[in-house]
Amino acid sequence: MPSENKRRALGQHFLRDGAIARAIVDLVAPTPADLVVEIGPGDGALTGILAGRAGRVVALEVDRALGAALRARFPSVEVLDADARTWDYAGLVAPSGGRVLIVGNLPYSVGKLILAALVGAGRAINEMALMLQREVAERVAAPPGGKTYGSLSVFTQLHCDVRLALRVPAGAFRPPPKVESAVLHLRVLREPRVALADERRFETVVRAAFAQRRKVLANALGAGLGLPLEVVRRAAGLAGVDPGRRAETLSLQEFADLTARLS
Ligand code: SAM
């Protein structure tokens, strides 16, 4: 692939602001007891800082040329030619007395997929500092009640405390991206935020509710789940949720209660 095309396809915008790089690493504050997995190390803006602070650093880079250069520059870092969308995060084991931390300035085009893989890894991870396109980061961190709150917010917040920690201007990168960026600090909860008998069903209900987010809940769920309106209204009533509300106003607990009544 020609290098310019490759650069675009892989979202290769490299951080050139050392203060921002340190601030990202400081969010998870690695110590010699910790294992850090870095996603998309690129030309090493975060890798060097991580190598100086964490006990062990594993870096996942899909661009083999960048991976080879990183191996030469940071011999203590285990650089893997790996795709961060499909890597087995669930198999990570924390070092004795330490934590598993994930740090990465994620490629924009696949940022949501990588985030989903990380959240899906469950309790194998302790904390994460992830840079994403700002609009995506805001959706992940959004509380109920606004237009940015959606299934991405619900699924991430089910398993993590999420805080939008830093906003990063395009000028901090070479070449500068067309969009703004933001860094999320996520702490993985030891138990899901709300108790669920069937997480798959919860996901189906949440996706259906937001698939037609401008409709009231009864209509969106009826259409999305293929259920008669009366069934949805009765279930919502039993869950204590007004079926005339819109999905964006429901808390995680309300989605859980609704799922239980729709199952
Ligand atoms: N961490 C560096 C920095 O902050 O300067 C580079 C960040 S750059 C936005 C994203 C990096 O992720 C690039 O190095 C790119 O090659 C890599 N990348 C893209 N897709 C990937 C994937 N699926 N798995 C692993 N790395 C990927």
CATH number, domain containing residue 225: 1.10.8.100
Closest CA to 185 of 163, 168, 201: 163
| 181 and 203 assigned to the same domain | no
Out of 8, 62, 86, 132, mutate this one to test ligand 1's pocket (max ligand atoms within 8 Å of CB): namely 62
In this predicted structure, the answer to whether residue 210 has a pLDDT above a threshold of 70 is yes
- pLDDT value, residue 229: 96
In sign, the C-alpha dihedral spanning 104, 113, 12, 133 is negative
150, 167, 188 - which closes a domain: 188
Residue nearest to atom 1 of ligand 1 (CA): 41
Domain encompassing residue 176: 4-188
188, 208, 239 - which closes a domain: 188
- pLDDT value, residue 9: 83
| 50 and 113 assigned to the same domain | yes
Q: For residue 176, tell me if it sits in a domain.
A: yes
- pLDDT value, residue 8: 82
Residue nearest to atom 18 of ligand 1 (CA): 40
pTM for this model (two decimals) = 0.95
| 166 and 209 assigned to the same domain | no
- pLDDT value, residue 7: 81
CATH number for 24: 3.40.50.150
- Range 15-19, long-range pairs (CB < 8 A, 24+ positions): 15/42, 15/45, 15/46, 15/105, 15/172, 15/173, 16/45, 16/172, 16/173, 16/174, 17/168, 17/172, 18/45
**What average pLDDT does the structure give for the chain?**
96
Q: How many domains does the chain have?
A: 2
Distance between CA atoms of residues 144 and 153, nearest Å:
9
Distance between CA atoms of residues 186 and 223, nearest Å:
34
| 21 and 149 assigned to the same domain | yes
Q: Is the CB of residue 14 less than 8 Å from the CB of residue 174?
A: yes
Looking up tokens 């924009």 gives 108
- pLDDT value, residue 22: 98
| 105 and 135 assigned to the same domain | yes
163, 188, 213 - which closes a domain: 188
| 50 and 80 assigned to the same domain | yes
Q: For residue 14, tell me if it sits in a domain.
A: yes
Distance between CA atoms of residues 36 and 135, nearest Å:
26
DSSP 95: P
Distance between CA atoms of residues 213 and 207, nearest Å:
10
Say how many Å lie between the CA of residue 60 and the centre of ligand 1: 8
Distance between CA atoms of residues 181 and 130, nearest Å:
10
Say how many Å lie between the CA of residue 80 and the centre of ligand 1: 12
In this predicted structure, the answer to whether residue 4 has a pLDDT above a threshold of 60 is yes
